Structure 1
Amino acid sequence: MASTHNAPLSLDKPLPGFIPGDLAWHLGMILRGHQTLFAEAVAEMPCSVRGYQMLSTVVHHEPANQQALSAHLGIDRTVLTYRIDDLVTAGLVERVPAPTDRRARKIVATEQGVDLLNQLEIRVAAAEQQLLAGLDSTESAQLAALVSKLSMDIHRAQPGANPCEAMDQLD
């Protein structure tokens, strides 16, 4: 007998175990829980969650310039400038000439910024573990793999999509 484990979903039937529309409610509840715990974990960060995301992107992805940082995070460049100003004032990042274009600026983390990011990453990891406390380690790993796979599939299909903008449009 052939396995149906990898069979594609039928496009004319509800998801197994869901009433049509339930997936949105479940994802919304997960997002709400994540937002609350994430914001608490990074409360001391200038610009809160967005500041954390900016600092994390600067450290882990090293965008070539401010425009690349803006594109990666889906933040309007004019808004990004003000948020970078806040991080510069806090001593967490600095603007340096971009190596490929001296007219452009690259945002780099200071030692203080890297230290704070390391501390906050521990708190964020603990918050994510708290969010997933109802799952065992195998289920957590499965969820992480599936969410990653699905989000990357969507990102490839809609490369300019901004997840923050999508959430704003839900209301």
Structure 2
Amino acid sequence: MDNDLVWAIRMISGALRRAAADASETLPGGSRAYLVLVALAEAGDKPPTQLELAGQVGLDRTVMTYLLDDLEGQGLLARRPNPQDRRSRHVVLLDEGRAQLQRMRADVAAAEARLLSQLSEEQRAQFRDLLTRVALTAQRGPAKD
């Protein structure tokens, strides 16, 4: 298993998914809700449409609709008309959603610290940076020739 990237990512992914699921167990959709709230928090003042959000977090658009219905019902987010296209809606993180995300991130950070305990602070920062760069490449999809 030395240097087997598939194995390593699977182990890390499983541990972090369990941490996210535990942190978001009270939310509809569990860890999916966590991913949605993170994406909305990162969007800042440029909220995504439902379709864009589904693509960002890798969810089927039908699943996304039901999940957003549930999260909106709990007052965590809102859907607002897109001024450029009346047929689509922007998804906006509300204050309660931001507060819920902050609590979940604290729980996930504790699990992350345990997972990365064998690394120095410098190594942790470098690992996060490298992993984020690879994740962004993966999110863009396969390279076009």
TM-score (ref. length: structure 1): 0.71
Please give the alpha-carbon distance, in whole angstroms, between the structure 1 residues aligned to 2:76 and 2:141.
34
C-alpha RMSD of the superposition: 2.1
Does structure 2 retain, via aligned residues, the 8 Å contact 1:46–1:90?
no
Greater Rg by CA: 1
Residue in 2 that maps onto 1:9: none
Query: Aligned in 2, Cα 1:78/1:157: closer, same or farther, shift over 3 Å?
Result: closer
Please give the alpha-carbon distance, in whole angstroms, between the structure 2 residues aligned to 1:76 and 1:110.
23
Whose RCO is larger (CA < 8 A, sep 6+)?
A: 2
Whether 2:82 is the aligned partner of 1:98: answer yes
Give the SS at the match of 2:59.
Answer: coil
Whether 2:64 is the aligned partner of 1:86: answer no
Give the deviation of 1:99 after TM superposition.
Answer: 2.4
Whether 2:16 is the aligned partner of 1:49: answer no
Whether 2:112 is the aligned partner of 1:121: answer no
Residue in 2 that maps onto 1:107: 91
TM-score (ref. length: structure 2): 0.82
Please give the alpha-carbon distance, in whole angstroms, between the structure 2 residues aligned to 1:74 and 1:40.
20
Query: Aligned in 2, Cα 1:154/1:89: closer, same or farther, shift over 3 Å?
Result: closer
Please give the alpha-carbon distance, in whole angstroms, between the structure 2 residues aligned to 1:88 and 1:133.
37
Query: Aligned in 2, Cα 1:154/1:138: closer, same or farther, shift over 3 Å?
Result: same
Residue in 2 that maps onto 1:163: none
Residue in 1 that maps onto 2:17: 35
Please give the alpha-carbon distance, in whole angstroms, between the structure 2 residues aligned to 1:153 and 1:44.
32
Q: Which sections of structure 2, spanning at least 5 residues, go unmatched? A: none
Q: Quick one: which of 111, 128, 132 aligns to 2:116?
A: 132
Give the deviation of 1:157 after TM superposition.
Answer: 5.5
Please give the alpha-carbon distance, in whole angstroms, between the structure 2 residues aligned to 1:84 and 1:29.
29
Q: Which has the higher helix share?
A: 2
Q: Quick one: which of 56, 64, 72 aligns to 1:72?
A: 56
Residue in 1 that maps onto 2:136: 152
Residue in 1 that maps onto 2:126: 142
Sequence identity (%): 34
Q: Which sections of structure 1, spanning at least 5 residues, go unmatched? A: 1-16, 160-171
